[in-house]
Structure 1
């Protein structure tokens, strides 16, 4: 990366502190002026209102697939539409769901009506239906957020009466959690106990704002009376607990974003009395129930219980019992034997240079892995030979023809391709022209670029799976199928097929590799209608390049209803970059972009931008980059370090001021990703990806759209506010919009989302085509 000097603070106009005051009068007045300027520039522009209306129609379309989850035999769904912008929580039966559009729904909770009654802008954050005991299917814990912030509340809901139980601590009262970034979860089979983490007062929140203490409450108890199960260390990210589907209670802390410490709390094991709660919070170390059993795995590993087994995902290499297990592996061991000290581990998955584990789901008798093979999903079914999982496991790739249909057939390649090294491989010849290949950047041409997902219907009851398939141009199809004893899918039943939301005729989807500064091959997907001149050479077109590059998050294949309507139909090209920092090639792909190595993330993204120009897909003045949150930081770096490569920047709910990100809201929890700017040595590399500090007087930057939310209590809106303020003072082309609610998702209703989507796409299109 080319190092640009950071200008002295005296060369830049100071940014006022009042912009940090989230709902301060001066800050909101400044926001109102910027919003008004943005609305004046876009709202009445030709085609904008139509685009916004079309997107809202897509978001509220009555023929969308209603996604459901099963609990106690019923299917539950949360649904929004034009008549219910805040949404309806509802349920139905299997027989009724199979009827399609005529499904008979029982409405359980109307959020619009509740919000009007309570004068609160409630946003749905989910519900947990009690699945066992005499109250199974009759009680639920419902979580709601005021305005969409991460801070939320949980209340017990009576499904028979369709109302919330009173919160006062009496024997007949319901469980209740006050506003916090905590949780409330069922703690027993009868629904008479709950696990609670919330703001318990001074010292009870971590530096990132998450609760440090977990208590167990009996029905009718005040939170102060609950027994103490776990207190995280004062500098941990927080404490959590959950009860798994097999009735076991697990306690865990996150010392940082990428590590955890886990305990099993057996039923009836000794805990700490309520009287010890304050003493535990006053301490700086971890305090755990004396009866809890520690799960001794590497701190970076993620552990999931399944049946009577532990499933252990490794993010670092591990030496155990004189054997080495590489990062990215999935291991298993019986819970009881492992806790007794045995390290007899079975390997269920080992990564390859092109294949990584994306996730898994557990049915009654099978483990279904979702793998990423060069960023494209595939499924593998693993079946233990005996219930304890000690014996050999069989492996099976289920046939998905009944679900995929014609899409399962290989597509004709765009052009022949020379064998390509795996992304991540260092090779000086990568990307070099080859007389045998019309486009040597193509990655594995000819295979179907589809996304297939699987999740268990009920991990205790049977071996049925929810199955979904889609592509960038193919709407989702939802089916249900059952795995037989051998792991083959049997009786796949298509339940819903969403209609097309944009005209995809002529749209071509390809996968390519770019070459980063250090020789690493970086994949990307390209979607659009090719534009060719009379000689058959590509003509540059407006291109929107999207990326994330952090926290081991993978970007994959998904249907593009909004981008299709707002960008592809206009003749634009859309590109998704699978850069380092993400998880597309497992933990190593993520780890090579951490802290002092973070420059690689931005070099990868810049390499994709250059590759698109070199291939004639676009030109710098016709290329916009788009990202949100960590992706907002990504495009902020593109704005300030690579302005010559891009013609516009769309930056949503971003991190931009990396000098103090760790002191703003949840930022303290991300030091494991970015580093600690209070450490002078670490600040030396962090400042090189702090867009706010990279701005220089006298330099012209591409037009930028900064979008955030007043109610975002994860990434402070001050990041976007102060960046906009400074850029405006430097005379730059800045468009700013801050939504009043929506949290980190930046919008709370379909109408708000439609405006955001329309603004983002219209801004980029206008910036790239107005010259």
Structure 2
């Protein structure tokens, strides 16, 4: 396969010298990588203005924008528990009056009864006004079991980098003289009440090539950070290092995770004196939880045990007591999924392990219990054919909170107890008439014969081809499960609903690269196999055409982040299929991606363009290098954020410039805040949904010219 791809790429590049761009000197648009460069921002402003000038005049734009804002700000939304802190629950509430959010707390009993009495801890909007900062909430880490001291993370403008401050939950105030870290991509957790694990930017040599902490220190209260004790350090080539602790009953276990590559980690146990002992987890296993004195991980490759081989995708446990005592820890099988299943989420309460399993992309919740004769499994009674997500669990008692939803059914929050039936805590009201639409799961056949599932939503009773929006991701083990239509596709708000209400069709494609069927589904799209993800997406589009559900030229491909690589590649490979492309915060220039912001951390996923053998297969599908002059090339809309410090805005900027140079129409909208999430608040999210709807209508829908 690699040789075939390399040969095809060489022929294309030889015939099209404008595409070469194999070196920085050959890239005429590299100046657009200056994130806040004057010339670059002038170009961004011009693109933004042109896009808004055209699309905001569409008759549907003001209606869609107002409707999206109403949906996003609806105060009937579920107040999701971001954490259960003993007998209290905390939540971040965002609405029209509080666009950045209220961090608030209530008793767990009143919350379960449906009548929580909230006490506001931090008004993020007000704090931003007082401090002259555009704060975006990044969460809080509160120390168990007292849950009085919390580490609050706030980001200026929504970047991945944030400021950390210590907060007193009882007084509702930041602690004067408490732990504080300046803006950085820090890794921070509690070691004990007066000591933190800290990895942060300490200047030259303290970060990895990916821009994350390379050092982990123990910082004691009341001392200068310069005096913090070094616990461990990684290599510059690593992804990142972090220390963390877990309370298991009355025992606090402490660990160091060294991310060697994006998909391999080395874990160590940290003793009270700061010394470390390596854990026996395979490097490609995923740490999931600590329960009953055992560390639990998900396998991503087979593991040989005395009783036989355990397949990839299974959960396995090791005794921490044996490891701490220097004894050999024999792995114990916790749970084995079937070939049609994949373990997607794992969490634990006081004595139970809660596992969300995908079964042909439909969610199931399992309760696993450790015992002297091994682990027992029990399925919990929740609505079938739904998407289930673990929200949080209680530290005392055995209750987990989960949401259940589908494309046509709004989310319902359940409290699932080990000892009783699942209890409805809250339900989001319906935002549309679901009887108008029909959902079906179908399967396409990819080029290599693989069956690829996808969900299609159409108006009830519709016949014949319809303008169709296909959304997918296809990478990083991230499964794409059906969500309520007001939240699909990712970061585009209620766009899918608006598109359907206009009489069109929406598709969610479960292509390879994700985690829908466990490790194998991801591995089949890694590195030189990336072409499989693109073939899967095109196979879904071809299947829709074959079944007379869609027609070439009136299909839109949608993807964000890693999905930007996807839609850029499929547009280049099959421009005959697509009339429009939505590309959010995309990766596109795979020749330079590893040199831009966090790009070096994804080499294990895509390949290393600085290695000739890797670039040989990457060049065959890199969107930027393969963009060429093609008749009726699909029109692309790029949306992104200037402050994205994960995926560099230069990717989309350079693509837009190249489209223009090739005489292709391009739409572009770069928001100045929001980070990788793009929208820092609901106002921007609503605007983006309306712009994208107007774009789709203009290019492949009823408004097509």
TM-score of the aligned structures, taking structure 2 as reference length: 0.93
Displacement of 1:666: 0.2
Residue pairs, 1:83-122, within 5 angstroms: 83-98=97-112, 100=114, 103-122=116-135
Change (3 A) 1:322 1:62: closer
Match in the other structure for 2:489? none
**Partner Cα separation in structure 1 for residue 511 and residue 93 of structure 2:** 34
SS of aligned partner of 1:34: helix
| Alpha carbons 2:528, 2:618 under 8 Å: kept | yes
Matching of residue 299 in structure 1 with residue 283 in structure 2: yes
Give the structure 1 partner of residue 490 of structure 2. none
**Match 1:325 to one of 290, 306, 310:** 310
What is the aligned counterpart of 2:90 among 76, 79, 83?
76
Aligned CA distance change for structure 1 residues 455 and 748 (closer, same or farther; 3 Å): closer
> Which residue, out of 619, 639, 657, partners 1:687?
619
Assess if the C-alpha contact under 8 Å between 2:238 and 2:259 holds in 1: yes
Residue in structure 2 matched with residue 277 of structure 1 by the alignment:
none
Correspondence 1:62 to 2:66: no
Deviation at 1:158, TM superposition (A): 2.5
Once the 2 structures are TM-superposed, how far is the Cα of residue 505 of structure 1 from its aligned partner? 1.6
Structure 2 Cα separation of the partners of residues 349 and 231 of structure 1: 34
Q: Residue 348 of structure 2 contacts residue 393 of structure 2 at CA under 8 Å; is this kept in 1?
A: no
Question: Could you say what secondary structure the match of 2:476 adopts?
Answer: coil
Matches within 5 A, 1:97-176: 97-98=111-112, 100=114, 103-132=116-145, 136-166=146-176, 173-176=177-180
CA distance in 1, matches of 2:335, 2:307: 19
Answer with 7-16 or 121-130: which moved more: 7-16
Whole-Å separation in 1 of the counterparts to 2:306 and 2:180: 46
Q: Are residues 1:722 and 2:654 paired? A: yes
How far is 1:396 from its partner? 1.6
Residue 416 (structure 2) aligned to one of 481, 502, 505: 481
5 Å-filtered alignment, 1:435-474, equals 448-454=384-390, 457-459=393-395, 461-474=396-409
Any conservation in 2 of the 1:331–1:348 contact (CA below 8 Å)?
Answer: yes
> Which position in structure 2 is the counterpart of 1:285?
none
1:48 is aligned to 2:34: no
Residues 25 and 500 from structure 1, CA distance in 2 versus in 1: closer, same or farther, beyond 3 angstroms? same
Name the SS for the 1:626 alignment partner. strand
Cα separation, 2, equivalents of 1:727 and 1:361? 46
Which residue does the alignment assign to 2:560? 628
Residue 659 of structure 2: SS of its match in structure 1?
helix
Instruction: Answer yes or no: is 1:497 the counterpart of 2:432.
Output: no
- Residue 250 in structure 1 maps to residue 255 in structure 2: yes
Q: 1:344-383, aligned counterparts within 5 Å?
A: 344-383=330-369
Instruction: Give the direction of change, closer, same or farther, for the CA distance of 1:329–1:362 in structure 2 (3 Å limit).
Output: same
1:749 equivalent in structure 2: 681
Q: Which residue does the alignment assign to 2:242?
A: 240
User: Is residue 265 from structure 1 mapped to residue 201 from structure 2 by the alignment?
Assistant: no
Q: Give 3-state SS (helix, strand or coil) of 2:100's partner.
A: strand
Residues 540-580 of structure 1: CA deviation (Å, up to 9, x unaligned): 11111011110111011211111453112111211111111
Tell me, yes or no, if the aligned pair for 1:317 and 1:325 is still in contact at 8 Å: yes
Encode CA deviations 1:729-761: one digit per residue, 9 max, x unaligned: 111010001000111111100001111122223
How many residue pairs get matched? 677
Structure 2: distance between partners of 1:37 and 1:143: 36
Question: Are 2:26 and 1:8 aligned?
Answer: no
Larger Rg computed on CA atoms: 1
Give the SS at the match of 2:553: helix
CA gap of 1:746–1:616, structure 2 versus 1, over 3 A, is same
Q: Is 2:496 aligned against 1:512?
A: no
- Farther-moved stretch of structure 1 (562-571 vs 542-551): 562-571
Report which structure shows greater RCO (CA 8 Å, sep ≥6).
2
Checking the alignment, whether the CA contact within 8 Å between 1:178 and 1:198 is kept in structure 2 is: no
Alpha carbons 2:61, 2:693 under 8 Å: kept? no
Give the drift of 1:14: 5.0
Q: Deviations over 1:124-166 (max 9, x none)?
A: 000112333xxx3432110011111111111011334433223
Distance (whole Å) between structure 2 residues aligned to residue 364 and residue 151 of structure 1: 33
Alignment of 1:563-582 (within 5 A): 563=495, 565-582=497-514
* Cα distance change on mapping 1:515 and 1:616 into 2, 3 Å: same
Aligned counterparts, 1:154-233, within 5 A? 154-166=164-176, 173-188=177-192, 191-233=193-235
| Residue 315 (str. 1) matches residue 319 (str. 2) | no
Note if 1:397 corresponds to 2:369: no
Partners of 2:448 and 2:600 lie apart in 1 by 31
In 2 relative to 1, CA 455–348 (structure 1 residues): closer, same or farther, beyond 3 Å? Answer: farther
Partner in structure 1 of residue 634 of structure 2: 702
Superimposed CA distance per residue, residues 56-79 of structure 1 (whole angstroms, 9 cap, x where no aligned partner): 111110100010121132111111
CA change 1:756–1:579 in 2 (3 A) is same
In structure 2, how many angstroms separate the alpha carbons of the residues matched to 1:104 and 1:544?
42
Displacement after TM superposition at 1:695 (Å): 1.4
Q: 1:510, CA displacement in angstroms?
A: 0.9
Distance 2:593 2:347 in 1: 35
SS in 2 for 1:96: helix
Question: What secondary structure does 2:208 align onto?
Answer: coil
In structure 2, the CA distance between the partners of 1:97 and 1:396, relative to structure 1 (3 Å rule), is closer
Range moving further from structure 2, 728-737 or 356-365:
356-365
> Once the 2 structures are TM-superposed, how far is the Cα of residue 378 of structure 1 from its aligned partner?
0.9
Evaluate the alpha carbon distance shift between residue 613 and residue 78 of structure 1 in structure 2; reply closer, same or farther with a 3 A threshold: same
Alpha carbons 1:657, 1:691 under 8 Å: kept: yes
- Looking at structure 1, the residues matched to 327 and 191 of structure 2 have their Cα atoms a distance apart, in angstroms, of 27
The alpha carbon displacement at 1:320 in A equals: 4.2
In 2, are the aligned partners of 1:125 and 1:144 still within 8 Å (CA)?
yes
Note the residue ranges of structure 1 that are not aligned, 5 or more in a row: 167-172, 272-290, 405-447, 485-489, 533-537
Q: Write out per-residue CA displacement over residues 327-357 of structure 1, whole angstroms, 9 at most, x where no aligned residue.
A: 1111123222256453533222223321121
Structure 2 Cα separation of the partners of residues 623 and 719 of structure 1: 24
Q: Secondary structure of the equivalent of 1:621?
A: coil
Separation in 2 of the partners of 1:237 and 1:465? 32
Aligned counterparts of 2:36 and 2:143: Cα–Cα separation in 1 = 38
Q: State the shift of 1:321 in Å.
A: 4.5
Answer whether contact 2:87 2:109 (CA < 8 A) is retained: no
State the shift of 1:629 in Å. Answer: 0.3
Q: Which 10-residue stretch deviates more, 510-519 or 336-345?
A: 336-345
Taking structure 1 as reference, are residues 234 and 109 closer, same or farther at Cα in structure 2, changes over 3 Å only?
A: same
RMSD, aligned CA:
1.9
SS of structure 2 residue aligned to 1:112:
helix
In the alignment, the residues of structure 1 paired with residue 65 and residue 544 of structure 2 have an alpha-carbon distance, to the nearest angstrom, of: 29
Q: Which SS does the other structure have where 1:244 is aligned?
A: strand
Q: Tell me, yes or no, if the aligned pair for 2:30 and 2:654 is still in contact at 8 Å.
A: no
> In proportion to residue count, which structure has more strand?
2
